[in-house]
Every structure is written in C-alpha cells, then in structure tokens.
C-alpha cells in the first residue's frame, strides 16, 4: 500500500523535470530575412495515398518559398491504388519529382526504404519530411529553415493529429500535445529523443555522417525518433514553436482499435532506444499505472492522488499548448488520460511481439 506514495513522488519528479525542460528551451534564430535563403528538399513517402496526395501536392507547390530553391520529391512505395495516376495528372499543373518503388530490399522496412530513396535523390542539404495526409501552411518551409543556424543539425516541428470523428479527434489532439511536451522538454535539456516524421527536418550531411538508418533499417517505425537520437550528438536540435510551422495531420485513426494498432507500431521502435531513455520511459509509465490503481486500494486518498496527477499533467500540457498556440478542448483530458495509461501499460507490452506492418 505504501508503494503508492513513492510512485507519486517519482512521477511528480518527472513532471518537474519535464516542466524545467520546457522552460529552459529558447530557440536560436537564424534571421532568414537578412541572409540568403537556403535550398531545400521536401520528401514525402506514400503508400496508397491517392486521395491525400491530390490535396497535399498543391499545398506544397503553393508554399511561400522561391521555387528555384525548392525540390519536392514524392516517393510512391508500391502503391496499388490510383496514386500513380493521380501523380501523373498533378505533374501537368505542379512541379515535383515522382519516384516509384517497385521492390523493397529485404533489409529495409518499406517506409525507410522509400525515405532512403528520397534522401538519395535529394539535391539539397536541408531535408524536410512530412506525410501524405499532412497539410503544411504556406510559411512552413521558411519557419523551419529559420532555425538552421550553423551548428544546428535537425529541427523538430509540431504536428497535431485530427480525424473525422469529433470525440476521438479531440483526444488525438491532446495526445499530440503530450508528444510535443516531451519532445520540447528534451530539446530544452539539449537531450532530444522524440519527434514525429510528419514535421521533421535535418541536414543531409548529418543523416549520412550518422550512418542513416543503418542498425534499425528493418524496424517499421523509428524513421523519426531513432534517427533524431542518432543525429543529435552531431550538433544542436531546435524546436519551432511558431504556429506557422505547424503541420496538421488529417489522417488520424478513425477508431480506437486503429489508434491502438498505430500506437503499437510507434512504441515498437522503443526497443532500439538508448538504455537511459528506455529506463526513463519504463519508470514514468510504471508510476503512472500505479497511481491509476491507487483509488482501488486507498479509496478517497487514492482519488486525490489521481486527481493531483491529472492536475500536474494539465499543467504541463497547458503550458505546452500556450507556447505552441494550439488549444485543444480540455474537457477531453480525462478521456485521454484513461487511453494513455491503457496504451502505454497494456498495448505497449504487445509492441515487441508479433508482426507489425507500416500499411496493408
């Protein structure tokens, strides 16, 4: 019974540590208005995304950035839908490069093979990656490249996930903030470990010097987190807070089951994390689960502990939301809290067994 109180203490130490990281982060600017704009390669790896690509390509080609400095590469990963037809039609009105992957090397997971092909084809030093279901704003590229000062090797951007089901979409929005909070805190402590491939940028030279995807090329996930952890020791990693740099993903899972399957895929990459990061995650999620059990053993005292935990979580999430200028509907916080402990306690345990696919 007394184990609940040490668990709470450890959890709140984590919360204070995260908050301190959030407060510590201050982005170093590269004044892009006074310096020549750099050349940029945008890479999109897509599998059966015909409908999304029809909307994404116009967004990318309409971005407010000199066209002669921008290369857009769409890598079609063995799509069996109308992706090829849609891309050929779009090329009549928009300028971009189309790579077709017919066969994937057995050494690689499909998405990493597609991304590696896109990176190899990239002509420029700065690489921005996003997904087909994302919708970047017109100032996205300018905001991202403004963080690439001389010793910066990678830039992280916020990418909230939404879907067509309103209640689930609100929970996904809060979950996106939770990811951003940990990502931003890591950047604040200069120990970045978490990002999303929907809004991520890095130097091609850093990718190559770090060994690319070697060592985790066959993992379904990890083209973002694992790559970030490999690149980070080569220089500084920045996080762009400006709302103009946000990239909204419209392709969020449309059911709880689909979300659990997606989170299982994401969590599977953590087996390749550094030992210290793995230990931190284990302790954090274990203490979180213990606090959720407190009301069953401690009654009202346990409920107060759980309420205090949720208040601390809200403190972190609200601070992050304020800095990112992204306010979700907080009434769904309790729903997210419940799903969060389910996902990271039970679903996470199955992330390391069985076969996991990128997409069917």
> Which tokens go with 8?
């709470």
The three-point CA angle 325-327-328 to 5° equals 150
User: Closest Cα to residue 291, out of 220, 352, 351, 341?
Assistant: 341
Q: Place 34 in a pLDDT band, splitting at 50, 70 and 90.
A: very low
Position 33 scores a pLDDT of 46
Handedness of CA 302, 304, 308, 313 (dihedral sign): positive
The pLDDT tens digits of the residues spanning 282-335 come to 999 999 999 999 999 999 999 999 999 999 999 999 999 999 999 999 999 999
Q: Which residues of 58-69 are buried (b: 16+ CB within 10 A; e: fewer)?
A: ebbeebebeeee
Count of H-run helices and E-run strands, the chain: 12, 9
What is the average per-residue pLDDT within 75-97? Answer: 96
Spell out the domains of the chain, with CATH numbers in brackets.
Answer: 4-23+272-348 (no CATH), 27-254 (3.90.550.10)
Position 262 scores a pLDDT of 86
Position 320 scores a pLDDT of 98
Report DSSP letters for 127-138, one per residue: EEEE-TTEEE-T
The pLDDT tens digits of the residues spanning 123-179 come to 999 999 999 999 999 999 999 999 999 999 999 999 999 999 999 999 999 999 999
> Which tokens go with 56?
């994404």
CB 223 within 8 A of CB 134: no
What is the average per-residue pLDDT within 268-286? Answer: 89
**Left if phi > 0, otherwise alpha if psi is -120 to 50, otherwise beta: which for 77?**
beta
Question: CA-CA distance, 278 to 4, in Å (whole number)?
Answer: 22
């Amino acid at each position: 019974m007394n184990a609940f109180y040490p668990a709470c203490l450890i959890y709140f130490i984590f919360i204070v540590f995260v908050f301190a990281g959030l407060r510590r982060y201050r982005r170093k600017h590269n004044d892009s208005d006074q310096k020549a704009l750099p050349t940029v390669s945008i890479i999109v790896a897509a599998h059966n995304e015909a409908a999304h690509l029809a909307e994404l390509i116009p967004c990318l080609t309409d971005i407010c950035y000199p066209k002669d400095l921008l290369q857009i590469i769409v890598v079609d990963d063995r799509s069996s839908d109308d992706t090829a037809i849609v891309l050929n039609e779009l090329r009549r009105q928009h300028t971009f490069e189309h790579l077709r992957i017919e066969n994937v090397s057995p050494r690689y997971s499909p998405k990493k093979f597609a991304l590696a092909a896109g990176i190899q084809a990239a002509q420029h030093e700065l690489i921005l990656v996003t997904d087909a279901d994302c919708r970047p704003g017109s100032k996205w590229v300018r905001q991202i490249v403004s963080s690439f000062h001389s010793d910066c090797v990678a830039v992280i951007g916020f990418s909230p996930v939404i879907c067509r089901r309103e209640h689930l979409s609100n929970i996904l929005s809060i979950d996106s903030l939770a990811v951003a909070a940990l990502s931003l805190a890591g950047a604040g402590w200069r120990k970045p470990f978490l990002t999303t491939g929907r809004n991520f940028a890095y130097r091609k030279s850093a990718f190559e010097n770090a060994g690319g995807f070697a060592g985790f090329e066959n993992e379904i996930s990890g083209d973002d987190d694992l790559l970030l952890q490999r690149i980070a020791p080569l220089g500084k990693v920045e996080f762009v807070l400006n709302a103009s740099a946000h990239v909204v993903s419209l392709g969020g899972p449309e059911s709880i089951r689909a979300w659990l399957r997606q989170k299982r895929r994401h969590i599977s990459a953590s087996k390749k994390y550094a030992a210290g990061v793995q230990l931190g995650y284990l302790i954090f999620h274990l203490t979180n689960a213990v606090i959720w059990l407190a009301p069953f053993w401690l009654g009202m005292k346990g409920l107060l502990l759980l309420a205090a935990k949720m208040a601390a979580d809200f403190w972190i999430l609200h601070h992050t939301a304020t800095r990112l200028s992204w306010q979700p509907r907080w009434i769904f916080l309790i729903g997210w809290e419940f799903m969060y402990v389910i996902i990271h306690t039970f679903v996470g345990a199955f992330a390391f067994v069985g076969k996991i696919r990128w997409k069917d």
